[in-house]
Structure 1
Amino acid sequence: MLTTEQIIETMSGQGLRITDQRKSLAQLFAETEGYLSPKDVYEYMCKKYSGLSFDTVYRNLRVMHELGVLEQIMFEDGAKFRAHCSEDHHHHHMICLSCQKTVPVKFCPMANTDVPDQFMVVQHKFEMFGYCKGCQESGAAAQGAAPAGQGGR
């Protein structure tokens, strides 16, 4: 995952003003292993910055995602974010539904996808959801089920 400094440097390099709130966001994501919902981020930020609106937090999450410092994944309960991983090549992820451990997948299935001639792909996402070995052994996998709509991707 990107470090706090890498996140701040990327945002600054793209012309984004680096406020104390954005520094706090960068630190939060650099130090968090799993995924955070906008609500999680809002609750964390409100402890430090009174009067902060949810819209401001969400707008910053969107900007940070567009700049490539945050990854966004759609879970059954909505979008969640985490610091972009430090892999410098195109890849995808396997994500544990219990602990949210994320493992990079080196293979991209896009090359094997039969895209019709009349369609031009400009972006794609491919994530696999399941349970890591630790969660399988601890029984956490037996307590959860695959999220609706995620099984066939």
Structure 2
Amino acid sequence: MHTVEEIVSRMSSQGLRVTDQRRTLAKLFSDTSGYLSPKDVYEFMGKTYSGLSFDTVYRNLRVLEELGVLEQVMFEDGVKFKLHCSEHHHHHHLICLQCGLTHPIVFCPMEQTAVPDDFKVVKHKFEVFGYCKACGSEVEVKGESGL
């Protein structure tokens, strides 16, 4: 689901009204390969739609996540969103902290997790943060250490 029309179709099929603002939001994520913070989205949308509130932007990001259009990841500097990746099976991610390059991890650590009988897992997330080869070279040159 990477084109604007695929995103709009998903919204519509789930009963969400497709407004100009939501179409613009779909285009923004379709055109962006990395992660966007709610503030990034708010600032972008505010250029076209004056009077748009941050709460409205955030609510729409949450709705699109619930529909499976967006993925939400918690970075050290806050939550960010990107288009749901094209992998069609359960997986997790390796994420570059500098450029946002994301690779799927097909092994799920939950398979090796001892869950107590009195605990019911309903959802889980697992992301590994670091630097891709290109950004890792830049980090070494700058003298920064890894995680």
State the TM-score, normalized to the length of structure 1. Answer: 0.90
Match of 2:47 in 1: 47
State the 1:138 CA deviation: 2.6
Post-superposition offset of 1:144 = 6.5
SS, match of residue 128 in structure 2: strand
After TM superposition, the structure 1 stretch with the greater mean CA deviation from structure 2, 136-145 or 36-45, is 136-145
Cα distance in 2, alignment partners of residues 44 and 13 from structure 1: 26
**Matching residue of 2:24:** 24
Q: What amino acid maps onto 1:11 in structure 2? A: M
Structure 2: gaps of 5 or more residues = none
Unmatched 5+ residue regions in structure 1? Answer: 147-153
Amino acid in structure 2 at the alignment position of 1:133: K
CA distance in structure 2 between the aligned counterparts of 1:29 and 1:142, rounded to whole angstroms: 33
Query: CA deviation digits over 1:22-51, x for unaligned, max 9?
Result: 000001011111110100000000111111
Corresponding residue number in structure 2 for 1:127: 127
Distance in structure 1 (CA, Å) of the matches to 2:117 and 2:13: 38
Between Structure 1 and Structure 2, how many residues are aligned?
146
One-letter amino acid matched to 1:134: A
Q: Is the 8 A contact 2:38 2:58 kept in 1?
A: yes
SS in 1 for 2:29: helix
Match of 1:149 in 2: none
* 1:134 match: secondary structure: helix
Give per-residue Cα distances to partners, 1:5-26, cap 9 Å, x unaligned. 2211111100000000000000
Residue 71 (structure 2) aligns with: 71
**1:5-24 alignment, distance < 5 Å:** 5-24=5-24
Give the fraction of aligned pairs with identical amino acids, expressed as a percent.
66
> Aligned to 1:10, what secondary structure does the other structure show?
helix
Amino acid at match of 1:56: T
Instruction: Specify the alignment match of 2:112 in structure 1.
Output: 112
TM-score with structure 2 length normalisation?
Answer: 0.93
Shift >4 Å, 4+ stretches: none
SS, match of residue 139 in structure 1: helix
Distance across 2 between alignment mates of 1:78 and 1:71: 14
For the aligned residue pairs, the C-alpha RMSD in angstroms reads 1.5
Aligned CA distance change for structure 1 residues 111 and 55 (closer, same or farther; 3 Å):
same
1:3 Cα deviation from its structure 2 partner: 2.2
